[in-house]
């Protein structure tokens, strides 16, 4: 069985041609799959029953079925646990902002990067998500909530640059005007810093926003937190982001999760400002979420504000990320993990 939803327009058109179908059929099917996000061939009501049966014999539509859903009473944030065709689980979160709805999607089932503070990586990576499965997270949420999602962040479970080809296919697909038609400028990709892939992405010339999970100003601290730092150092990864910004003229971001006594001192803030000097960038300061498998503790509010103040006084843009969905455990990896344990 072939995944019909990960085929691009040209491939779909070829496939339909080989079934002896006229060209307009391919456009109809493309729109069912990518604009409306249907989950079965029977919903494609303008196709003959015969063609639907023929399609069912050769193809399947990878879907994200809602297994669990939580709505925050505090801010309306919605968290989904989705079940995939092979019984695996992933998570997505929909957040409402002034400018519209943003979805945070997963890119892999689990993650092999091993960051010590992260719940998504505790059992390694089961498999990559298909392009269709990344897209179906958007469709399932949109269809369930009856809304249009305008922004996507690839910040859920998984390392997007470790699933490079499917992620690029996904980005091009959601941008297609016969599909979700989401602007690439409204998509953010977050990476732990796989340097060669950052350069490869740079050459794709896609106007997405790239954000790096930096979390530390030097190798000593970063290597303790993130094994990937043993492969590419802080300087190497910051240089890659700097080149990415210069090549694409797209401002880059750095995520910095604040952990009490680990990376939140005044000295850490100064060292960070020095490293980022001259780069057109923005720093997102994130209070670390408690994960029961590790003993990292969130920085106190005073230290978080002070960290931001130092960065700003040294001319580095920095904001503290607002926490949404606090009452529904909206930070990723935790629901899937609970399901695995039950
Ligand atoms: N693999 C990608 C994207 C997924 S993680 C990456 O590393 O960027 C998305 C963001 O959540 C990253 O910045 C990650 O470092 C952060 N994160 C993971 N666990 C967290 C936790 N317990 N508290 C706060 N942020 C966390």
Instruction: For residue 91, indicate whether it is catalytic.
Output: yes
Instruction: For residue 332, indicate whether it is catalytic.
Output: yes
Decide: residue 71, CB within 10 A, 0-12 exposed, 13-18 middle, 19+ buried. Answer: middle
Q: Quick check: CB of 334 below 6 Å from ligand 1?
A: no
pTM (2 d.p.): 0.96
The protein residue with its alpha carbon nearest to ligand 1, atom 10, reads: 155
Q: Quick check: CB of 117 below 6 Å from ligand 1?
A: yes
Locate 185 and state its tokens.
């400028």
Q: Can you tell me which atom of ligand 1 is nearest the CA of 157?
A: 4
User: Per the residue annotation, which of 21, 91, 135, 255 is the catalytic one?
Assistant: 91
Q: 137: closest CA among 89, 185, 186?
A: 89
The pLDDT profile of the chain, 342 residues, written as one tens digit per residue, is 999 999 999 999 999 999 999 989 999 999 999 999 999 999 999 999 999 999 999 999 999 999 999 999 999 999 999 999 999 999 999 999 999 999 999 999 999 999 999 989 988 999 999 999 999 999 999 999 999 999 999 999 999 999 999 999 999 999 999 999 999 999 999 999 999 999 999 999 999 999 999 999 999 999 999 999 999 999 999 999 999 999 999 999 999 999 999 999 999 999 999 999 999 999 999 998 877 777 889 899 999 999 999 999 999 999 998 877 878 876 666 778 777 776
Q: Mutation test of ligand 1: which of 257, 283, 292 has the most ligand atoms closer than 8 Å to its C-beta?
A: 257
The protein residue with its alpha carbon nearest to ligand 1, atom 15, reads: 213
């Amino acid at each position: 069985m072939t995944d019909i939803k990960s085929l691009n327009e040209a491939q779909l058109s070829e496939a339909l041609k080989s079934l002896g179908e006229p060209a307009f059929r391919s456009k109809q099917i493309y729109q069912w799959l990518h604009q409306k996000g249907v989950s079965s061939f029977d919903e494609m009501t303008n196709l003959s029953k015969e063609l639907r049966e023929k399609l069912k014999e050769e193809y399947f539509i990878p879907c994200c079925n809602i297994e669990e859903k939580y709505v925050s009473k505090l801010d309306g944030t919605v968290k989904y646990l989705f079940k995939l065709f092979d019984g695996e689980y992933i998570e997505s979160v929909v957040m409402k902002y002034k400018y519209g709805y943003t979805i945070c999607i997963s890119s892999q089932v689990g993650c092999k990067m091993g960051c010590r503070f992260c719940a998504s990586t505790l059992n390694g990576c089961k498999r990559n998500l298909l392009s269709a499965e990344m897209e179906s997270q958007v469709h399932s949420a949109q269809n369930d909530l009856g809304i249009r999602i305008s922004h996507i962040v690839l910040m859920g479970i998984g390392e997007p640059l470790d699933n490079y080809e499917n992620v690029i296919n996904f980005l091009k697909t959601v941008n297609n005007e016969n599909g979700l038609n989401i602007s690439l400028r409204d998509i953010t990709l977050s990476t732990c810093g796989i340097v060669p892939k950052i350069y490869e992405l740079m050459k794709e010339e896609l106007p997405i926003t790239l954000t790096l999970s930096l979390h530390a100003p030097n190798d000593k601290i970063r290597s303790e937190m993130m094994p990937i730092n043993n492969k590419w150092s802080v300087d190497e990864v910051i240089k890659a982001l700097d080149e990415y910004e210069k090549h694409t003229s797209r401002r880059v971001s750095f995520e910095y999760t604040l952990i009490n006594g680990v990376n939140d001192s005044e000295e850490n803030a100064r060292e960070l400002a020095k490293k980022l000097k001259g780069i057109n960038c923005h720093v997102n300061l994130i209070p670390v979420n408690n994960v029961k498998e590790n003993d990292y503790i969130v920085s106190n509010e005073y230290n978080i504000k002070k960290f931001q103040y130092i960065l700003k006084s040294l001319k580095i843009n920095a904001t503290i990320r607002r926490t949404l969905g606090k009452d529904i455990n909206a930070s990723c990896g935790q629901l899937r993990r609970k399901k695995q344990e039950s």
